[in-house]
Structure 1
Amino acid sequence: MTTKEFHGRIGRTYDESEPWWPEQIRPPENAPNVLLITLDDVGFGQLGCYGGLIDTPNIDRIAENGLQYRNFHTTALCSPTRSCLMTGRNHHSNGMAGITEISTGFPGYNGHIPHENGFLSETLVERGYTTLALGKWHLSAAESNSAAGPYDQWPLGRGFERYYGFLGGDTDQYTPSLIYDNHQVEPPATAEEGYHLTEDLAQRAIEFIGDAKQVDPDKPFFTYFCPGACHAPHQVPKEWADKYSGKFDMGWDEARERILERQKELGIVPENTELSPHNEDVAEWASLSDDEKKLYARMMEVFAGFLEHTDAQIGKILDYLEELGELDNTLVMLVSDNGASAEGGPTGSVDENRFFNNVPEDLEDNLAAMDELGGPKYFNHYPWGWTWAGNTPFRRWKRETYRGGASDPMVVSWPDGIDARGEIRTQFVHAIDLVPTVLEVIGIDTPDDVKGVAQSPIEGTSFAYTFDEPDAPEQHTTQYFEMLATRGIYNDGWRAVHPWPLGKPITAADLSATTLDDSGWELYHVAEDFSEAHDVASEHPEKVLELAQLWWTEAGKHDVLPLDGRATQRLAEPRPQPGKPRDRYVYYPGGQYIPENAAVKVLNRDHSITADVTVPDGGAEGVLLAHGSRSGGYSLYVMGDRLRYVHNYVGAEEYQVVADEPIPEGAVQLRMEFETTGEATPGEGKGAPGVVRLYHGDEQVGEGEIPVTLPITTGLTAGLSCGRDALNAVAAEYREQTPFAFTGDISRVTVDVSGEPFVHEEAEMDILMARE
């Protein structure tokens, strides 16, 4: 039975019949291509065209070809902002109050974007557009990111026809966790062969666009290009970082002054803009030792190289569109998802897994690593003094509702549709405004339904009115902000903020310390005080009350309630999981690696790993089960005819146990057992010590002590794999042979975790929050 109307005629034979084809869906005549580029953790003052000290000639080129916005805003966090960019609705309306890993069972917080909030890709694909997504996603529930799905919130489930990238919040640039459409793939090359994720993503974008245009050159595309840059790890080939050698020796205090001076010269801030007050968390550069200055300057050089390298890849895409003759009719919009990130802490980090496991970083060790920062050996992030400078002239940073967290760069070009070149726009714009702008530009009405689902109202306001009217009255006049129970509200040139407690490092514990009453609001007249340098709440108590009441009104309209300032309790909130809790996990070779959130949890508890294998004549070698990366994890494998187990402690030490006898040929069970011999002290960075015993069948063939283990996590960017070490190898002994696949036959590997699980909730919260 057909469900489509047929307008031909069917007779007894072909000669008596009239064929008919439905009209092909096409977008409006001369509809532009759309290229939306979303950078990660790039602050207002970091791009060259925003006064930054880093060269970004290709992003500057977009600005020179069109418009630069100085009053663009986001939610101050990654996934929430990206949900706004895709749907035109506020982050709470999307269920994306935070990242999905801290979701709770309330409409604004559940981490599932409802299908009544259709994605721009879903609208455009139904109107004849080619839809392509590349890079970071982080818009699907964490529990759905394994091969078990469900896939309805993956890119192909939300209107994109092709996808190549990574689903989580961050990934290693040299050994990324890649998804191609709906399945995992391994990187096409290694770091030693010159591989880098951002280059790969740019090349794939060019291929995807070319594939479509060479077949149907008149069909426009919507390409969502989201490199992991410049989120940690700050990784880039050494020559890019070396270009900036010595360029940041002046330190972050002077850097802020230089950036503001450049911003005024460019007109990207008003001439009367002042630097916001010194962040109380940030040490004055002059107070640091010479070694600290040397290390921290190098960390910033690496970040600078990473950003310029990303700019170069964006340039490749722009050049390709120009070669195709498509650039002039492409609406290019480039934004950052939030302000610069302070997740490197006060001293920066050479490997975030040490931070997540509470293992202190030593200045001398980090100085020794300095020449290799940015390379595949380290997962580095700069200190938060550079974060503060990167958000010049604003105060604070990502996760906070001050302008340093929520005000970001946005450049727009469309030569065929925008007459202006190199001009600045001052009107208030928010991430929810991009969808209605694109629809207006194309000439498409907001759909009543998408895939048969009735649609909720778009909450953003098109800013297309600003394209050719620089002095047009602002149309988006009110916008609420909420992030982790901190609040903000913008209305007609005024901005009220209910902030974090200042003067102390920001930790998960601060969430529960944040008060939820209406005391503590600060007030800024941003129409006159662009950088929020002067709190005038005491001078205008009536305006504070007005804006506080307006915030509660907006909160009620957009599912912001209940406000949730909890910390570890929010992490422990029950939420859907990919499978029921169990004592035995069975893994099979040849399948996809298991993301960290879906893998078995063995740390700080008795457990065993049993591999049912068949060893051919002459022996076998390779990995039976590996979990983690060079930054921490464990692996059970065979090398030199011996069963071996290694526990990698945050990349600093590897503790190995080796069997006394060669593995037998034929069918055999190869097993390790871990028995804890002490208590974990995660606050001190130490997991439970234990004894490892190795077995061939029931025969014990080896034993050894593991004096310290990972206390909290194997890491964020690698998971568990069976029959090989899928990505960034756990054990140094076989790292040069990665993936070191087992050369015998594995029928299954069983992990038994009958012992009680160990959870350090506050540390887990800090880990998950660093993924946004």
Structure 2
Amino acid sequence: MKTLRFSSAIVLLAVLATSVIAWRNKPVHPGHKQVQPKRPNIILILSDDMGYSDLGCYGGEAQTPNLDQLAKEGLRYTQFYNTARCCPSRASLMTGLDPHQANMGWMTSEDFKLPGYRGDLSHNAVTIAEVLKSAGYATYMTGKWHLNLDPSLNNASKENWPLQRGFDHYYGIILGAANYYDPGYLCRDNTQINTTNDPEYKPANYYFTDAVSDNSVKYLKEVDKQKPFFMYVAYTAAHWPMQAPEAAIAKYKGRFDKGWEALRKERIERMKKLGVIKQDEDLSPFDGKPWADEKEKPALLRRMETYAAMIDIMDQGIGRIIKQLKANGQYDNTLIFFLQDNGACAEIIGDGETKPIAPDPAHVRKLTPESLIYSNKPVTTRDGKLVMQGRKVMAGPADTYVSYMQEWANVSTTPLRKFKHYVHEGGISTPLIVHWPDGLKAKGELRAQAGHEMDIMPTILDITKTPYPKTFNQHDITPVEGISLVPSFENKPLQREAIYWDHEMNKAVRMGNWKLVSEADLNFKAKTYTSAPWELYDISTDRSELNNVADKHPDLVKKMNDMWEAYAKRCQVYPSPWTKLN
């Protein structure tokens, strides 16, 4: 009997084992997938010095059909923010931190020897590329870096160049601006090159925006399709100088002839039809001289025509990136973000009389085919022409170096107040387009949740299920400041106390629909500043910041002021390089 029971037990175990093996090998029913979803590829696209309403899908005149299509198939955010300036925005975007926490409270052109103002990306901050590379992603970057101390100030140290901050490959410029036909501090990986000696890229006619797009496509052709990738595409378009090929500029001839005031009025009406501002939004007062008083209309029209052409060329390049994604079979599972680093640029480059930018034109060093350029503003072209500035200069060619001036910047920020540098809405508002066919249920919808570029990193880590590290390369890492935008994909609210800003002591805090903002008058030479009184706006009804209600809500002003002061101490805004006089 014992033998029989033992034999029966053996048979039963064998049957169970066979059943388990059969269950494990059973094909998965289509309705009950057990396989973990494939991690998405990520492409993060950043443009430079563009206004909130410059894209076609946000109301602009420039033709941007590829970005418009991404918006049609994805999401457009209407209350998304940056930090008002190049370097701080890039630091915040790359690290998920307030820029001061990443040591980038100002620019890379000076180290103030203060924690928030070193001009060099902190090693107590970790980049998207560093985290994703550690999680098994391939990492690529093209375009403008602008996150390391100016090479002239640190013995050309490469400690904070892209490859040392997580990227496998890089093509672009280390500095913050460049001649589009012959950019300075152009690099491939860790090697400085020029437009003539790069063995991997030899176009018939070099133009930096095209080079960024083409090298992005090159990397996409080389990717291992079994491995997810992260690509950061940081265009300099449409940062000064206003330069573009003649055929691209000709496309916009006559488009802006009505002048800046009329174009602002036309643009706000398009924006209302698109839904990117409210139907009852008012246009902020025009900030510049009347078009009727402009004596150099042909030259100023040419600058805006060139600006539009620069945006157009960037969009065409994004189209080539999209085409390659589709050819790779990777389009549907690639999460694409598009946003801008600050508001439109009102900086005055190339006003006054027409003259060379070289201080001593008679003794300019000639460039040879082998010469490397170390400046963002070369004084001569490679074929020996002096680079010119002046209000009458006709923008576009390589031997010109001008900006598009404050009045056109005011068009770009329609209908908002102020520009780059400032933290009124025109200086910090950016489009955000999010596109991901495999991951977004909503198509062509708007999102009004207030977000900030420091939210991009936590969003990416949330989606890729990648933890934000507490330490990296033996450095303690500052806890992430941003939050994930993923709830907003399904139009759910984002939970946060407030969003804070400081740049050059222009300061703001947004809590819910309330925004407290103050403009500073900064004396760089004396390193002093004065602050204007706080202004308070209800952004839900007054995005253009026209109705200051600070006097009606003194308790709220005090509360939000105290919140800003606490933020400034926590995030290394203080100590500041500048002394307050009032």
Q: Does 1:235 align with 2:243?
A: yes
Which amino acid in the other structure matches residue 216 of structure 2?
A: A
Aligned to 1:630: none
Report 1 or 2 for greater relative contact order, CA contacts < 8 Å, sequence distance ≥ 6: 2
Which of the residues 435, 440, 444 maps onto 1:422? 444
Which of the residues 421, 426, 432 maps onto 1:404? 426
Q: Summarize the Cα distance change of 1:546–1:278 in structure 2 as closer, same or farther, 3 Å threshold.
A: farther
User: TM-score by structure 1 length?
Assistant: 0.64
Any conservation in 2 of the 1:349–1:355 contact (CA below 8 Å)? no
Query: How many angstroms apart in 2 are the aligned matches of 1:170 and 1:211?
Result: 28
Offset, 1:333 = 0.3
Aligned to 1:283: 289
Which of the residues 507, 525, 539 maps onto 2:538? 525
Any conservation in 2 of the 1:295–1:367 contact (CA below 8 Å)? yes
Q: Once the two structures are superposed, what CA deviation does each residue of 1:562-612 show, in whole Å capped at 9, x if it has no partner?
A: 234369xxxxxxxxxxxxxxxxxxxxxxxxxxxxxxxxxxxxxxxxxxxxx
Aligned to 1:24: none
Which amino acid in the other structure matches residue 45 of structure 1?
A: S
Q: State the secondary structure of the residue aligned to 2:297.
A: helix
Offset, 1:477 = 4.0
Q: State the secondary structure of the residue aligned to 1:131.
A: strand
Q: Does 1:181 align with 2:192?
A: no
Q: Summarize the Cα distance change of 1:349–1:134 in structure 2 as closer, same or farther, 3 Å threshold.
A: farther
Any conservation in 2 of the 1:230–1:306 contact (CA below 8 Å)? yes
CA RMSD, 1 decimal: 2.7
Offset, 1:114 = 2.2
Query: How many angstroms apart in 1 are the aligned matches of 2:474 and 2:145?
Result: 24
Q: Does 1:207 align with 2:218?
A: yes
Describe how 1:39-438 pairs up with structure 2 within 5 A: 39-143=47-151, 148-177=155-184, 178-188=186-196, 193-212=204-223, 216-279=224-287, 282-289=288-295, 292-344=296-348, 353=357, 369-370=393-394, 373-438=395-460
Gaps of 5+ in 2: 1-34, 362-387
Query: How many angstroms apart in 1 are the aligned matches of 2:356 and 2:560?
Result: 39
Q: Summarize the Cα distance change of 1:106–1:396 in structure 2 as closer, same or farther, 3 Å threshold.
A: same
Query: How many angstroms apart in 1 are the aligned matches of 2:195 and 2:63?
Result: 28
Query: How many angstroms apart in 2 are the aligned matches of 1:79 and 1:401?
Result: 15
Which amino acid in the other structure matches residue 497 of structure 1?
A: V
Q: Once the two structures are superposed, what CA deviation does each residue of 1:392-412 show, in whole Å capped at 9, x if it has no partner?
A: 111110001111111111111
Q: Does 1:485 align with 2:505?
A: yes
Which of the residues 5, 28, 46 maps onto 1:38? 46
Aligned to 2:21: none
Q: State the secondary structure of the residue aligned to 1:440.
A: helix
Query: How many angstroms apart in 1 are the aligned matches of 2:280 and 2:152?
Result: 49
Q: State the secondary structure of the residue aligned to 1:122.
A: helix
Q: Once the two structures are superposed, what CA deviation does each residue of 1:367-387 show, in whole Å capped at 9, x if it has no partner?
A: 7642xx211111121121000
Q: State the secondary structure of the residue aligned to 1:327.
A: coil
Count of equivalent residues: 517
Any conservation in 2 of the 1:484–1:564 contact (CA below 8 Å)? no
Q: State the secondary structure of the residue aligned to 2:244.
A: coil
Query: How many angstroms apart in 2 are the aligned matches of 1:348 and 1:479?
Result: 40
Which amino acid in the other structure matches residue 166 of structure 1?
A: I
Any conservation in 1 of the 2:336–2:435 contact (CA below 8 Å)? yes
Offset, 1:449 = 2.7
What is the percent sequence identity of the aligned residues? 34
Query: How many angstroms apart in 2 are the aligned matches of 1:223 and 1:512?
Result: 39
Describe how 1:295-694 pairs up with structure 2 within 5 A: 295-344=299-348, 353=357, 369-370=393-394, 373-469=395-491, 472-500=492-520, 508=524, 514-516=529-531, 520-565=533-578
Gaps of 5+ in 1: 1-26, 358-363, 568-772
Offset, 1:254 = 1.1
Query: How many angstroms apart in 2 are the aligned matches of 1:475 and 1:348?
Result: 50
Which amino acid in the other structure matches residue 86 of structure 2?
A: C
Q: State the secondary structure of the residue aligned to 2:539.
A: coil
Query: How many angstroms apart in 2 are the aligned matches of 1:115 and 1:273?
Result: 43
Any conservation in 1 of the 2:425–2:543 contact (CA below 8 Å)? no
Query: How many angstroms apart in 2 are the aligned matches of 1:392 and 1:248?
Result: 15
Which amino acid in the other structure matches residue 283 of structure 1?
A: K
Query: How many angstroms apart in 2 are the aligned matches of 1:496 and 1:59?
Result: 32
Q: State the secondary structure of the residue aligned to 1:138.
A: coil
Which amino acid in the other structure matches residue 184 of structure 1?
A: Q
Offset, 1:183 = 0.9
Q: State the secondary structure of the residue aligned to 1:125.
A: helix
Aligned to 1:753: none
Q: Summarize the Cα distance change of 1:245–1:356 in structure 2 as closer, same or farther, 3 Å threshold.
A: farther
Which amino acid in the other structure matches residue 437 of structure 2?
A: P
Q: State the secondary structure of the residue aligned to 1:132.
A: strand
Q: Summarize the Cα distance change of 1:414–1:391 in structure 2 as closer, same or farther, 3 Å threshold.
A: same
Any conservation in 1 of the 2:44–2:337 contact (CA below 8 Å)? yes
Q: Summarize the Cα distance change of 1:151–1:28 in structure 2 as closer, same or farther, 3 Å threshold.
A: farther
Query: How many angstroms apart in 2 are the aligned matches of 1:462 and 1:420?
Result: 18
Any conservation in 2 of the 1:346–1:384 contact (CA below 8 Å)? no
Any conservation in 1 of the 2:47–2:339 contact (CA below 8 Å)? yes
Q: Summarize the Cα distance change of 1:183–1:351 in structure 2 as closer, same or farther, 3 Å threshold.
A: farther
Offset, 1:558 = 0.5
Aligned to 1:627: none
Query: How many angstroms apart in 1 are the aligned matches of 2:159 and 2:217?
Result: 26
Which amino acid in the other structure matches residue 424 of structure 1?
A: L
Query: How many angstroms apart in 1 are the aligned matches of 2:105 and 2:293?
Result: 38
